[in-house]
Structure 1
Amino acid sequence: MSAGTIALTNNSATVSGTGTVFTTDLKANDFIVVIVGGVTYTLGVKATASATSLTLITPYGGPTATGNAWTAVPNATLVGITAQVAADVAKAIRGLNLDKANWQQVFSGTGTITVTLPDGSTYSGPAWNSLTTLLNNKAAKGANSDITSISGLTTALTIEQGGTGAKTAAAARAALGAFSTAGGAVSGSITAGAAAGIAVAAGENNRVEINNVTSGVGAGNPVGWTVYRWYTELAQTGIRRAGDTTIQSYFVALSGGGGWEFLRGGNATASGTWTSGSDIRHKFDIEKVKNALASVLTFNGSIYGKKDGGREVGLIAQDVERACKEAITYNGDRKFSDGTVIPNFKYLNTAGAAAAYHTEAIKTLFELVELALDKPDDARALIASIKEQSEVIKNTPIENEDPRKEAPPIFDVPSSEDYEEPTT
């Protein structure tokens, strides 16, 4: 800013100053720059009459104003600024002309064109006309905006580009991990459509089928099953419906009529009889059960209810265990639907224990009958001895850890419909 302030009058060439030194700061053809009402005015100086008065080359055209700050601009400075502006404008125009010429080539040129960049370097590339010609009929679009043909393509598209990266069916299947006509290994989940199945056919009339098509709407009908076929014979295994949304049983059935049913309550049935192997040739260290009649006297033939089951009749594992630990087996803890956990759950070989002890007990009873007929007193003594043995067996200690409570088990198996392909 120059010293002092100036007063300007509309349409007047006279400028008066306060605290100014016009004669020192200005000379003819210099300029005054002043801002009035937000507008910048550049005023040429014709002559300086005194330190506080000068005359403009052209009358001031703005509004009358006093106390304006101002700046003296020597003529040479303004001329230099103007020259720089002119140079910048000329450079911009040259750039525009270059752009016009470059775009003209891009729009209307053919083949390879050369464009000049702002720094003076050049770049060569195809004109739009040549691109259109090059792509013509290379990717024809059909009625549904899909690509109907691609000509001139000699390199197979990669999987990332939507192709297979291969030129033969076998190589494409290998690249995509698909099966050949000879089959292959499955990694992940296979999902058939609703109410559909999967079948594996092979030579010599054998076939495997997996299906979830119900064979009827009532209770007892299969709703999910696997079939193994051999000529006209078959074996079927699967689940049966209970008439509502629950499962009645898991079954195994043969076309010849044989079948086994594992029921919801935990029982099992069969069209025949479960037959155990009992050949003496595969047994060794054979011993007769001891104190058979005394042991049978400690057994309790009982009717009872079971957790997760109905009422049954039979023996109690712990009663038999006191007389014969060999009749008991274990398979770890057992958890029930209410969350009860019975540690080291005991299983009883009921048929074996009953057959062995009852057989030997009957023999002892027969001996007692004979003894009672011939020697009644000896028979009474034997009966007393048997009773004493029975009390000893009844009071034999066994291990029984108390049950505990946990959260009920969750029977939840993910469906193949919930399967998602890995992202990596």
Structure 2
Amino acid sequence: MPIYKSGTVSIGTGRTVSGAGTSFTDSAAGIRPGHTLIAGTNPVQVFQIATVNSAMQLTVTAGPAANIPAGTTYTILTTDALSADGLAAQVAEAIDYFKASIGGRASAGGNGDITSLSGLTTPLSIKQGGHGAKDAAGACLNLGALPVTGGRLSGPLTVASDVISSAGVMFSQAASDGQNAHFWMRGPGGISRAVLYSNRNGQAFLRVDDETSNAMGYQFVMNKAGVFQCASLAQTSDTRSKSEKQQVMGALDKLGRLTGYTYSLRVTKETTVRGAGVIAQDVEQVLPEAVRIAGEGFDESGAPISNIKGVDYSALSALYVEAFKELNARIMVLEAAHAGTSTLEEN
């Protein structure tokens, strides 16, 4: 078959074919305008030679859609007169040659036989099984993934450089000791809706803002001693939300079975704080509805304990109200008895 395939080529979108190890002007090769050049890309690309410029340069009638890199194998069909059948046979033979010469690439069908890729200058698209980027940050962006450390996503989620994600945990890292670490929630116009932030003094703040007026709201404060501070705390108490309501009976007696204490409460393994109140286990005996399982904590020696019990002090108001009513009823009886005694004495 009359072909020429010495060396390798690169083909630019400007129609120039640059050779390496070629001799396009060699009379023995017989390369002339009109001959067919087949580039060994995958899939192969076919061009028609327009001019033979030098031993290492040709011009084709139409360039490729994208640059074909240097080092690409090729074949030039050097027959001037070909029938349609003859041309088809030569093209088929050239394609078979390229299939045999591009070892390591899939020849047909699925890509299960591809074991490695090299020399790529354009990233594979997601549709092609790649991620369409040349670096990790770009790959994460295209795939919609969160970078392992830092970076900024252009989609709905924005991650600043002081946010770190590691082992499934996200951190907000302050830029310096004097600055707070923030998690900010904003509306589409960038106006604050709420912010959670902390300082280096053992305080964490939750502030809910007014997006409509762009005014800062009141902030809730929590500190390392376990203190929660707010302007007001309202618990849901609407009668429409309650069922199986039962009046607390014997409230005065139940209050009498409780003891008020001052104490040191261990809030961390190393730290205690002074407080005053009642004991959850005592409350559980008279009003179990006021006792909650509050999670984990520490015993008086600092050893961890689970299912630690807490008291809902607002629930104790049910005891106070009913105890006051019982006490008031007793007072009224005594007052009535005293009034009757006074009347008898006067008579």
- TM-score with structure 1 setting the length: 0.42
Residue in structure 2 matching 1:266, options 226, 237, 259: 226
1:323 corresponding residue in structure 2 = 286
CA contact (8 A) 2:296 2:306 kept: yes
1:373 corresponding residue in structure 2 = 335
For residue 171 of structure 1, report the CA deviation from its aligned partner. Answer: 5.2
For residue 285 of structure 1, report the CA deviation from its aligned partner. Answer: 1.0
User: Larger C-alpha radius of gyration, 1 or 2?
Assistant: 1
1:133 corresponding residue in structure 2 = 21
Structure 1 residue identity aligned to 2:72: L
Residue in structure 1 matching 2:72, options 130, 146, 153: 153
Structure 2 residue identity aligned to 1:293: L
Deviations 1:258-307 (A, max 9, x none): 3222221222222x312111000111111111211111122223222111
Query: Hey, what's the Cα distance between the residues in 1 that align with 2:320 and 2:208?
Result: 36
Structure 2 residue identity aligned to 1:269: Q
Query: Hey, what's the Cα distance between the residues in 2 that align with 1:226 and 1:337?
Result: 35
1:364 corresponding residue in structure 2 = 326
Taking every aligned residue pair, what percent have the same amino acid on both sides? 20
1:417 corresponding residue in structure 2 = none
Structure 1 residue identity aligned to 2:237: S
Stretches of structure 2 that go unaligned for 5 or more consecutive residues are 1-5, 8-19, 23-54, 57-67, 74-101, 106-113, 163-171, 210-215, 339-347
1:191–1:150: structure 2 CA closer, same or farther, 3 Å change rule? same
Query: Hey, what's the Cα distance between the residues in 1 that align with 2:226 and 2:237?
Result: 26
Structure 2 residue identity aligned to 1:170: S
1:282–1:162: structure 2 CA closer, same or farther, 3 Å change rule? same
1:372–1:209: structure 2 CA closer, same or farther, 3 Å change rule? farther
Query: Hey, what's the Cα distance between the residues in 2 that align with 1:299 and 1:338?
Result: 25
Query: Hey, what's the Cα distance between the residues in 2 that align with 1:343 and 1:288?
Result: 32
Residue in structure 1 matching 2:240, options 274, 281, 295: 281
Residue in structure 1 matching 2:204, options 250, 254, 259: 250
For residue 341 of structure 1, report the CA deviation from its aligned partner. Answer: 3.3
1:66 corresponding residue in structure 2 = none
Structure 2 residue identity aligned to 1:318: Q
For residue 239 of structure 1, report the CA deviation from its aligned partner. Answer: 2.9
1:236 corresponding residue in structure 2 = 195
CA contact (8 A) 1:209 1:227 kept: no
1:99 corresponding residue in structure 2 = none
Residue in structure 1 matching 2:252, options 293, 299, 303: 293
Matched residue SS, 1:186:
coil
Query: Hey, what's the Cα distance between the residues in 2 that align with 1:208 and 1:344?
Result: 38
1:182–1:332: structure 2 CA closer, same or farther, 3 Å change rule? closer
State the aligned residue count.
217
1:222–1:168: structure 2 CA closer, same or farther, 3 Å change rule? closer
1:153–1:251: structure 2 CA closer, same or farther, 3 Å change rule? farther
For residue 310 of structure 1, report the CA deviation from its aligned partner. Answer: 1.1
CA contact (8 A) 1:260 1:269 kept: yes
Deviations 1:204-236 (A, max 9, x none): xxx745535647744xx413x221211223322
Query: Hey, what's the Cα distance between the residues in 2 that align with 1:216 and 1:167?
Result: 41
CA contact (8 A) 2:295 2:308 kept: yes
For residue 323 of structure 1, report the CA deviation from its aligned partner. Answer: 0.8
Matched residue SS, 2:314:
helix
Residue in structure 1 matching 2:311, options 342, 348, 369: 348
Query: Hey, what's the Cα distance between the residues in 2 that align with 1:320 and 1:241?
Result: 37
1:170 corresponding residue in structure 2 = 125
1:314 corresponding residue in structure 2 = 277
Matched residue SS, 1:312:
strand
Structure 2 residue identity aligned to 1:191: T
1:171–1:329: structure 2 CA closer, same or farther, 3 Å change rule? closer
CA contact (8 A) 1:251 1:262 kept: yes
For residue 163 of structure 1, report the CA deviation from its aligned partner. Answer: 4.5
Structure 2 residue identity aligned to 1:133: G
For residue 356 of structure 1, report the CA deviation from its aligned partner. Answer: 0.6
2:184 corresponding residue in structure 1 = 227
Query: Hey, what's the Cα distance between the residues in 1 that align with 2:241 and 2:219?
Result: 28
Matched residue SS, 2:263:
strand
- TM-score with structure 2 setting the length: 0.51
More helix by share: 1
CA contact (8 A) 2:180 2:198 kept: yes
For residue 357 of structure 1, report the CA deviation from its aligned partner. Answer: 0.6
Stretches of structure 1 that go unaligned for 5 or more consecutive residues are 1-110, 113-131, 138-148, 243-247, 377-424
